[in-house]
Amino acid sequence: MEKVEKVTEALQKAVIGDKKPKKEKKEKKAVAADADASAGPLEVQPPPAFLQSRIDLFDRLYKEQQEELAKRPRDDILITMPDGTVKPGKGYETTAAEIAKGISNSLLKRTVIARVDGEVLWDLERPLEKSCKLELLDFNDDEGKKVFWHSSAHILGEACERRFACSLCIGPPIDTGFYYEMALPGGAAVQSTDWAPIESLVTKIVKEKQPFQRLELSKEHLLEMFAYNPYKVHIINDKIPDGTRTTVYRNGPLIDLCRGPHVPDTSRIESFAILKNSSSYFLGDAKNDSLQRIYGVSFPDKKQMAAHKKFLEEAAKRDHRLIAKQQELFYFEECSPGSAMWLPHGMRINNAIMDYIRGEYWARGYDEVQTPNMFNLNLWEQSGHLEHYKEDMFILDVDKEQFGLKPMNCPAHALMFRHRDRSHKELPLRFADFGVLHRNEASGALSGLTRVRRFQQDDAHIFCREDQIKEEVDDLFDFMSSLYGMLGLTFRLKLSTRPEKFMGEIETWDRAEARLKEALDEFAASSEGVTWELNPGDGAFYGPKIDVAVLDCLNRSWQCATIQLDFQQPINFSLEYQTAEGHQKDQTRPDGVVAAPAAASAPAPETVDDDKKDGKDKRKPLLVKKPLAPGCARPVMIHRAMAGSIERFTAILAEHFAGKWPFWLSPRQVIVIPVGMGFLDYAKEVAQKLRKERFHVDVDSSGNTLQKKIRSGQLAQYNFIFVVGDDEMRHRKVNIRYRDDTSTQARDVPVDLEDAVAKLRALKLERGMYNPFPHVVEGKPEQELDQKAKA
């Protein structure tokens, strides 16, 4: 019971909080003001020398660029709007801003960026060069929001240069706003007292309406412009090929390496706030310099900022790390970063999620398997992961050879399919695996359960014929809809297509993408379907994928499920099955397995030669690729996960439900409270009966008052409170209070114990989110209330 009281005390502090007098709040504001005043001068004086030398080079080259653009022909062009209307214009003269203003001033004010020909984002003030299709995007568009926040990051960068004379590194937009990373002189750190001065500088920058100016530069000029900044020099040398050009953008004294585009000027950023600051490593590598990172968010108006701050307050209350501490679910040890220590109550949730998924596996024809945690690097070389994923793997030296902890299960499942001959009668073959996975995430990226190094997935791989793809993907959509719908989550779908670095033939990719598009279109047209978006170039290296983002009760997007269509791994591992045409009846066994001719059997794995020549490892591929045997075909491999990482999914649900777990997921389902110590034995008897039904139940045997016991149970988020006294003990009944229905908080409506157990059993089995005791309303039986209503 001590644990219950600890949880209660923690929850009470979080939920109720300590009420502070107004005087104390005023004192806090005064202290904050004093701290800001002691933060030193607003800007460093004199300004760093690199500001002016950078501006001088920019001005000279910008003038040359404008002179060259002035010589371009002003041909007549036609600009087609989304509604089909066509606007006339002049090449290298007409801008998207002029088009927007011609429609209305309000449209121009709310437009953030333009999109040309459905693909290229274009600065509003940059002249259009040829006839094109034009879209005007505002802050509500995802692309518009990214540009708005990226421009805000540049404003933050300018403020930081003026305040710290720092060396800026990168300043990208992120899902929740933006950040800028920098190195302060002497390795100094950003302090919370710097926030208000930086925000003051931002306010000045916004009022100055500094235009964003775009300039194309050669690599040589870039290196000259940023010679003072070793981090920019590294990025330029690493990312920009010799002999090529890229762009910088200027606003005020800031000139930054950037592809753009940006908002027209700084005045668009009407509301700006710093959210937090932290340390980081350059390029996310712990071997590199330690840097400072400042996070911010911005909006086109103050109303949106106020709404966002309220959202942040609610999100902070729901932070799964806070809930985990309050409810004793999990924690982390420094000796194993990024690997959760699951406490008993956390494992109850973990197991409940897996039990649900296992039930779905049984109903949908999956077979659960288990594979090793560590494989020789030969396997990862065979699959292609060594080339594309090595930096994210944990590599170990064992017996003079290198092994990798598995970051995914697909190569192991390919081996499992390959270990004997397969027949078309076995397909589809569905292997499910809850095996432990390890990924070498950067230490700065680790965040509670949402980004870890050790995790488990509801991972599965389906091996099927090409003509079975649609049916399998349809079942996955049904699986997904069932899981998310039960939990009150909605979802969005994106089709991620062939990336720049890919494995296999383009024709194969085109065929795979066409299959997924067909399945997505049909699902979108169904009664339970949702529309989907194209996410070009973001597929896995071995195949296109459907990325699924779930939306929680705060409308936050979380990456969860994935469906990946893979034609490449079956080729890499020489997977094959005997087709119906190639089936040899005299070799068919009752289970449908075909004993193929010896010539078609898979070659034994080659051994690794330990000898080295000229210091190079002579390691050979683990398996030899072979052409299809006569009468055989390659299976298609569908990679899929519904919840995704169990750790991440638990975090999502903790925040979605704010720690108020549904009964079937809850680690604290029932607490039995005796009204006095004389009824403790009956309370224990009730608890024992519930435990036999595999309910998570506790008994409050403390000496607290009844009201305090009930309040403690409520704060600890027990789904049901069973109160027992003399009447309940004599008649084998219980008084029930249901957490999620305040109308059941009054007592004196005893329920038969057997009936209560039966209803809880049904609630758990159905994974319901309803009150199984609807007759308990305001402490009166339903019949009595009905009679009063009729009267």
Q: List residues with catalytic annotation.
A: 410, 439, 457, 459, 461, 545, 639
Rounded CA-CA distance 401/397 in Å is: 6
**CA nearest neighbour of 571 among 614, 620, 634:** 634
φ/ψ of 703, rounded to 5, equals -90, 15
Please classify residue 706 by burial: count the beta carbons closer than 10 Å to its beta carbon, then call 0-12 exposed, 13-18 middle and 19+ buried.
middle
Place of tokens 């406490």: 343
Classify burial at 339, counting beta carbons within 10 Å of its beta carbon; exposed 0-12, middle 13-18, buried 19 or more.
middle
The β-bridge relationship of strands 545-551 and 612-613 is: unpaired
Q: Which tokens sit at 730?
A: 């004599």
Q: Give the residue among 356, 373, 455, 167 at the shortest CA–CA distance from 765.
A: 356
Instruction: Compute the distance between CA of residue 228 and CA of residue 167 in angstroms, rounded to an integer.
Output: 8
Task: For 273-313, give the DSSP string.
Answer: EEEEEEEEEGGG-TTS-EEEEEEEEEESSHHHHHHHHHHHH
- CA diameter of the chain: 100
Q: Euclidean distance between the first and final Cα of the chain, in Å? A: 47
Closest CA to 258 of 213, 204, 208: 213
* Residue 106 to residue 94: CA distance in whole angstroms: 19
Percent helix, strand and coil across the chain, each rounded to 5?
40, 25, 35
CA–CA gap between residue 583 and residue 536 (Å, rounded): 40
**Beta pairing partners, 182:** 168, 292
How far is 253 from 39, CA to CA, in rounded Å? 23
Q: Round to whole Å and give the CA distance between 552 and 560.
A: 12
Instruction: State how far the Cα of 395 lies from the Cα of 297, in Å rounded to an integer.
Output: 38
Q: Write b or e for each residue in 714-726: b if 16 or more Cβ atoms lie within 10 A of its Cβ, otherwise e.
A: bbbbbbbbbbbbe
Beta bridge partners of 296: 178, 274
Q: What backbone phi and psi angles, to 5 degrees, belong to 599?
A: -65, -25
Reduced to 3 states, what is the DSSP secondary structure of residue 725? coil
Residue 678 vs residues 497, 538, 674, 726, 752: alpha-carbon distances, Å: 68, 66, 8, 9, 20
What phi, psi does 149 have (nearest 5°)?
-75, -30
DSSP string for residues in 451-476: B-SEEEEEEEEEEE-GGGHHHHHHHH
DSSP-assigned letter for residue 341: E
Angle in degrees, CA 756, 757, 762, rounded to 5: 100
Query: Token pair of 308, please?
Result: 């966002």
The DSSP call for residue 667 is: S
Beta bridge partners of 750: 735
- How far, in Å, are 174, 190, 273 from residue 159 at the CA level? 19, 13, 13
Q: Token match 């001959």: residue? A: 421
What pairing do the DSSP bridges indicate for beta strands 132-138 and 76-80?
parallel
Tokens of 382: 């065979």
Q: Which residue, 157, 151, 149, is CA-closest to 125?
A: 151
CA 686 to centroid of chain Cα atoms: 42
> SS3 of 269, please?
coil
